Amino acid sequence: MESNRPVNAPSADHNNADLLVWACYSMGGYERWVDVEELFLKAFELGPNRLAWRTRPDLPDYKKCAKALQEVEDPKRSDHLGLFLKNGKYTRKLSEEGLKWCESYRSILAHLYGGGYVRSQSSSEAGRLISGVDRSEAFKHFLSTGKVSAEIWLIADALQCLPNSSRAVFMARLDGLQVAATHNGRTEIVEFVRLLRAHVEEEILS
């Protein structure tokens, strides 16, 4: 079902609707139709602690998975409406809008739902990330100039990691900060993260 309603960015907290859409993308559900049971199994693989039976953590709970699908497709309450196409009762595929959504937020979704145990980012953790950036010299420099500093130690301080941290650590910190900033409406931090990511990818750790 297509919709003119805007679709929200992924939540800073893990939720089953985001997980189900990302699961569809992860299994190639933008190129082919997938059975909902196959989709549920993929979502369970990526987030077993969210979709398992209460007494059998090794098994997916069909009711939880079906409820997640309902959250995506509910025409009255869903903020994911239009991300799935429907071909009969049991077959789904990502719409063009769904594909764009997954690709736009690929790094965030992969960070949140990379497989195995998915841990929610608490409000206190998000607040810590944001307050750390607000205090940093790199962010103050960005606010005054519109540019990011080339000094690796200033960037590392803003991201609360070490200057000699691996590329993976820098990217994970950027992903977490972007989720927190998006969830809290801090558009200036989202833009700061975008510029930092490009700088890290192209100059610092290439």
Please write the tens of the pLDDT for every residue from 140-155. Answer: 999 999 998 878 888 8
- Tell which wins on pLDDT, 2 or 31: 31
Pick the CATH number of 16-112 from 1.10.287, 1.10.10, 1.10.600, 1.20.120: 1.10.10
Q: Count Cβ atoms below 10 Å from residue 28 Cβ, excluding itself.
A: 12
Per-residue pLDDT tens digits for 63-105:
999 999 999 999 888 889 999 999 999 999 999 999 999 988 8
The pLDDT score that the predictor gives to residue 117 is 36
Could you tell me the pTM of the whole model? Answer: 0.55
Per-residue pLDDT tens digits for 165-206:
777 778 778 877 887 887 778 899 999 999 998 887 776 554
Give the pair of three-digit tokens for residue 180. Answer: 């927190």
**Domain boundaries, given as residue ranges, for the chain:** 16-112, 123-204
Average pLDDT score over residue span 35-47: 91
Q: Which long-range contacts (CB under 8 A, 24 or more apart) does 87-93 make?
A: 87/33, 90/35, 90/36, 90/37, 91/33, 91/34, 91/35, 91/36, 92/24, 92/29, 92/33, 92/34, 92/36, 92/39, 93/24, 93/29, 93/30, 93/32, 93/33, 93/34
